[in-house]
Amino acid sequence: MTVIISGTGLYTPKEFITNEELVQSFNQFVINFNEENKDQIDSGAVDALVPSSTEFIKKASGIEQRYVQDKEGILDVTRMRPKLKERSNSEVSILAEMAIKAAEEAMKQSDIDSSDIDAVICGCSNLQRAYPAIAIEVQQELGISGYAYDMNVACSSATFSIQNAYNDIQSGIAKRVLVVNPEICSGHLNFKDRDAHFIFGDAATAVILEKDSNSQFAFTILGTSLKTQFSNNIRNNFGFLNLPENSDPNSPDKLFIQKGRSVFKEVVPMVQAHIASHLDNLDIDIKEVKRLWLHQANLNMNLLIAKKLLGRDPDEQEMPIILNDYANTSSAGSIIAFHQTKGDFLSNEIGVISSFGAGYSVGSVVLQKI
């Protein structure tokens, strides 16, 4: 049975932070910290903090700015985290709200309304509560019948969600599935950490899968492939057992932590081999692939993955980059790249969506324009 991606949607927050703004805030924090801890630093008991720079951020990541749900709280050197209003149980949650906005654009592209959808899958790296599921809240707000559930495979949540939706349609339990990926990555980022303070941004994406469609944006899914391999090199230890364990809620490990060099060294060959094997299994030569929509975490990583696959440096058309504007939006990143650059595909042209990250995890979806 053929399964089609008939539409995609994107929600982008109104506020954004440039590298210059972020560096100014971080460096003021560094000055304040070093002054307040001068005696301990002089005695060697505490390490002095090192300033950041726009040059460092651009060279390390390729990121130039990031969209965020709250700018003021992040840049406030006395806070350095988003300041979001807690909502009552009777209000729509912020993740559901973001997902719904992305879903509305996806439905418009697919030329359907919510009554045509049988299921909702919400895949993202951080869910704001244990239950009820964000997906069920989206289902309720959009008036969708059927079923809905949340899932988390960190940065690979979108491709893993698409795989699940694909399977549901193939098995016949759903005819049309809405996948949403709302990400407030600024909420799990340690803005006091020089090596990480610039990495993430916020956004939400949506994808609609169905058996057939007359949408001008439709792509046939030629195949999906997933792989996981356990690693502690990307981790976040925040969870419901922190309280009974008497764990320090302000410990750095309750936010995003990573061993960046190890991640780069280990994930690049893993992703390259995964995509190459997936294409080989589908009898598709890499020369037939028009575009690689890769996870938008790091420019240098993506350039190396593409180079290993192509045997040469990729051009901007072959490997579009959106992380310069959006930063790393976790599961949403590769879908943003697909959403923004799929419009020039001609019938039968092939592209690959691939996400990768914590777990380790890697997912790939091979598409052909109808």
**pLDDT on residue 66:** 98
**pLDDT on residue 33:** 96
Could you tell me which of 205, 207, 208, 206 has the C-alpha nearest to residue 117? 208
Contacts of 294 (CB under 8 A, 6+ apart): 271, 302, 305, 306, 319, 334, 337, 354, 355
- Residue 135 and residue 66: Cα distance in Å, rounded? 26
Q: How far is CA 154 from CA 225, 228, 322, 324, in A?
A: 16, 11, 19, 21
CATH class of the 220-369 domain in this structure: alpha beta
Instruction: Tell me, yes or no, if 155 is annotated catalytic.
Output: yes
Q: Which residue type occupies 292?
A: L
Contacts of 31 (CB under 8 A, 6+ apart): none
Residues of the chain with pLDDT under 50: none
Contacts of 90 (CB under 8 A, 6+ apart): none
For all residues of the chain together, what is the average pLDDT? Answer: 97
Contacts of 265 (CB under 8 A, 6+ apart): none
Task: Note whether 254 and 238 are within 8 A (CB).
Answer: yes
Task: Note whether 129 and 27 are within 8 A (CB).
Answer: no
pTM for this entry? 0.96
* Residue 360: cis peptide before it, omega within 30 degrees of 0: yes
DSSP 88: P
Quickly list DSSP for 220-239. Answer: EEEEEEEEE---SSEE---S
**pLDDT on residue 146:** 96
Q: Where are the beta strands (DSSP E) in the chain?
A: 4-11, 15-18, 65-68, 119-123, 147-151, 176-184, 202-210, 219-228, 234-235, 257-258, 289-294, 350-357, 361-369
pLDDT one-digit tens code per residue, 69-109: 999 999 999 999 999 999 999 999 999 999 999 999 999 99
**pLDDT on residue 155:** 97
**pLDDT on residue 48:** 96
DSSP 270: H
SS3 content of the chain, % helix, strand, coil (to 5): 40, 20, 40
Is the dihedral angle over the CA atoms 58, 64, 67, 73 positive or is it negative?
A: positive
Question: For the chain, what are the domain ranges?
Answer: 220-369
Catalytic pick among 122, 124, 155, 185: 155
Q: How far is CA 145 from CA 37, 92, 96, 102, 115, in A?
A: 58, 18, 17, 19, 7
> What number of CA atoms fall less than 13 Å from residue 13's CA on the CB side?
25
Which two tokens mark 116? 């045509």
**pLDDT on residue 214:** 85
pLDDT one-digit tens code per residue, 205-225: 999 999 988 889 999 999 999
pLDDT one-digit tens code per residue, 6-53: 999 999 999 999 999 999 999 999 999 999 999 999 999 999 999 999
**pLDDT on residue 165:** 98
Which two tokens mark 129? 């509560």
Contacts of 277 (CB under 8 A, 6+ apart): 225
